[in-house]
Structure 1
Amino acid sequence: MALLVLGLAIFIAMHSIRAVAAPWREAQIERFGMPAWRGFFALFSLLGLFFIVRGYGLARRYPVPIWLPPSGMVHVTALLTAIAFVMIVAACIPGNHIKRALGQPFMCGVALWAFAHLLANGTLHAIVLFAALLVWALLKLRADRRRDREAGVVYAQGTLARDALVVVIGLIAWDLFAFWLHGMLIGVHPLG
């Protein structure tokens, strides 16, 4: 569990620098240059992610049950994660109504994904992982929205064609992950 917590701390800290220490971040970029900053960011983000994955895998060997989710919760989680995938894709494709409505659809998607996984997982290590990511995503979402307001950011009008593209790509990505990659990468086949 310690490795999981360390990984979460590193990953969340790296992804929170802009929100909590923007002047320091800018000073480092000015001092070392953007390529060096991106390398530093990528290295520590990947290190945190490696520790999260490794720590989670180790913790799964000796699970500590906290609560038993109802059997049907897997279907609720599947629906919510499908919506989360669509939100995450909306962040990457400009000119869609979802991005205009949510402002920060990526962080909204991460928050929904984490919440959905909390519904279907009752072990201590799962609760630590998904609760930490949920709290981080909600705090980062709040900070990003405040930054957008202060900067006067206005997102482009959406089109139905872009909305359709977002939904199709999001659902295909969700399908591939839910039915194939989740089992291959995580060792759990959530939908059988």
Structure 2
Amino acid sequence: MGWTEFILAMVAFMVSHMVPSRPALRGALVARLGRAGYGAAYGLLSLLLLAWVIFAAGRAPFVPLWDQATWMRWLVNLVMPVVVLLACLAAGAPNPLSFGGRAEGFDPARPGVAGLVRHPLLWALLLWSGAHLVANGDLAHVILFGLFAVFAALGMRAIDGRNRRLWGAARWQALTTGTSNMPFAGNWRGWRPAWWRVLLAVVIWAALWHLHEPVIGVSPLP
């Protein structure tokens, strides 16, 4: 049952994350639940499915591929504050170019977090999964974090391609001129993120640090 549960959890998580990239389905859910209701429901579902995937990977048969070194733990600890900050800066911010953002209030001349990187939530997922992939050398976790990394990388290309088709080349160019898929390559200089988003990131990172061992069962300390 270990591998069966793990596969089911992964499929459920991946399928659920196709919803934001399907405008018709997302629009129908927003119309029924409201924007705030959709955001809350989708966020809760994502967290529950993510927790299921992580615990299912821990219950899968252990097949070692490489040993963990101390520097691998340091890598995770250095990357995680960046991951949490990116997620807090991106969630609900004006950014129609990627999921997790909103169209209202977006100014291509001052793209905000999209000027830092066009797909901040996907970059957060890529950094999180990449660092944890290095630090967890058993088969189930390599599959788990490897698929997340591939999902994030391909998701950027897929969303860009979809938006270019929907908007047309001229509008796409106008909206994305100050952004880039590479961090710090867009128009981010002079942008000042909201203080409460930075404070929220600090609180969430501290909570993750302290809850990692009692919840996940592994200490984050190097």
TM-score by length of 2: 0.66
Q: Percent of aligned pairs with the same residue?
A: 24
Q: Which residue of 2 aligns with 1:135?
A: 150
Q: Which residue of 2 aligns with 1:105?
A: 120
State how 1:28-177 maps to structure 2 within 5 Å.
Answer: 29=28, 34-35=32-33, 38=38, 45=46, 48-49=49-50, 51-59=52-60, 62-92=61-91, 93=93, 97-149=112-164, 150-151=166-167, 152=172, 153=175, 159-162=190-193, 166-177=197-208
Structure 1: which 5+ residue stretches go unaligned? none
Report SS of the residue matched to 1:175: helix
Q: Distance in 1 between matches of 2:76 and 2:54?
A: 20
Q: Distance in 2 between matches of 1:46 and 1:80?
A: 20
Q: How large is the Cα RMSD of the aligned pairs? A: 3.6
The CA deviation at 1:160 is 4.7
Q: Distance in 1 between matches of 2:150 and 2:201?
A: 23
- The one of 183, 187, 192 equivalent to 2:217 is 187
Report SS of the residue matched to 1:3: helix
CA spacing shift, 1:58–1:91, aligned 2, 3 Å: same
One-letter amino acid of the structure 2 residue matched with residue 34 of structure 1? R
The structure richer in helix per residue is 1
TM-score by length of 1: 0.75
Q: Distance in 1 between matches of 2:50 and 2:204?
A: 20
CA spacing shift, 1:45–1:110, aligned 2, 3 Å: closer
Q: Distance in 1 between matches of 2:205 and 2:47?
A: 22
Q: How many residues align?
A: 185
The CA deviation at 1:114 is 0.4
One-letter amino acid of the structure 1 residue matched with residue 5 of structure 2? L
One-letter amino acid of the structure 2 residue matched with residue 7 of structure 1? A
Is 1:12 equivalent to 2:14 in the alignment? yes
